[in-house]
Amino acid sequence: MTGKRSTFLLSALVFGFAFLYVPILLVIIYSFNEGKLVTVWTGFSFKWYVSLFSNDGMIDAAWNSLRIGVMSATLALAVGTPAGLVMSRFGRFKGRTLFSGMVAAPLVMPEVITGLSLLLLFVTLEQLIGWPAGRGVTTIVIAHTTFCAAYVAVVVQSRLAGMDTSVEEAAMDLGAKPAKIFFVITLPMILPALLAGWLLSFTLSLDDLVIASFVAGPGSTTLPMKVFSSVRLGVSPEINALATLIILAVSVMIVISSLLILRSERARSRSMNQAASES
């Protein structure tokens, strides 16, 4: 009975993992392929990596994406955090439901609509006040900030909702004014949520193709746009090399962050035991 069940579980596990990771594995393997065809293995080589790094268009696009990601994640944090704070800490006020609904709306809004409406906004603004002049990195950053801020607001709100308000009350009771409480008490306590919100926004921005396509201008091609347009001309093994590098970067980041979490958790439980044994 148990033998049968474990065979079933094992095969399900193998199938599941294969389903998830075989495509990725293929991409990695074929990035080292010598031939030009993506589907035929002809020999081991680093040539596509070399050609990737000499492809200025690709490097520029990657640089654009990184810059846009960092800027929009940071701006989204600045806009989204106060919104999350208002939703969880200002109690009941008139129009609260409307406000939180509108904050969360970009999460469910189809990207095509967000992109189109932002494009119309930018064009109108340019005609009216001359800013933003043309489409480019600035407009993409603004566009990404709008939908990333919604994610940050939701993350911050849920973190604050789980946090004991008496800690902030204690700070007020001890003589700190509201603005100071926010920076000295609330902010450090929601730091993990802010970090998570920033990383989420960065990833979303890096990943976005649709909205960026609407509001991009000449010279502001992002990596997803570049990849998408080059794939339309036929899949080049350069893309495989690029994908492999991205997977590598992501894996390294995940490993480092889980190591850090593990270490802090261990230190925490050690000191908890220590406290318990002393009392």
Nearer to another protein, 2 or 166 (CB): 166
Q: 132 with 122: CB under 8 angstroms?
A: yes
Structure token digits, residue 170? 């204690």
Q: Per CB under 8 A, which region of 55-63, 94-102, 108-116, 269-277 contacts another protein?
A: 269-277
Cα 156 from Cα 82, distance rounded (Å): 9
Extract the tokens encoding 209: 């193709």
Work out which of 170, 231, 248, 260 binds another protein, going by CB under 8 A.
Answer: 170
The overall longest dimension of the chain from CA atoms, in Å, is 75
Nearer to another protein, 28 or 189 (CB): 189
What is the footprint of another protein within residues 183-242 (CB under 8 A)?
185, 188-189
175 touching another protein, by CB under 8 A: yes
Please identify which residue in 14, 161, 167, 199 interacts with another protein, judged by CB under 8 A: 167
Q: How far apart are CA 118 and CA 4, in angstroms?
A: 57
| Residue closest to 219 by CA, chosen among 123, 137, 115, 133 | 137
Q: Is 171 in the site for another protein (CB under 8 A)?
A: yes
Segment (H or E) for 66 = helix 56-89
Residue 94 touching another protein (CB under 8 A)? no
Residues that bind another protein (CB under 8 A): 164, 166-167, 169-177, 180, 185, 188-189, 268, 271-272, 274-276, 278-279
